[in-house]
Amino acid sequence: MDILNLARQSGMTVVLDARIGQQEYHSVHSSVAALERFAALLEAHRQAESGKRV
């Protein structure tokens, strides 16, 4: 699961703050409405994944 992509899809702003070697550090900024959309997308993704395993 690409959690940063889910954040972008929900309307959040994802900012690359730093890259040290192979490690990347991001900040995520959003409204409460975007956070709610993110939670809904995350739950939908979780349910889709659990349905694939059955």
Q: Which residues pair with 25 in a beta bridge?
A: 18
DSSP the chain: --HHHHHHHTT-EEEEEEEETTEEEEEEE--HHHHHHHHHHHHHHHHHHHHHH-
Position 41 scores a pLDDT of 95
Domains of the chain by residue range: 3-53
Which pTM was predicted? 0.79
Segment 1-54, tens digit of pLDDT: 899 999 999 999 999 999 999 999 999 999 999 999 999 999 999 999 888 765
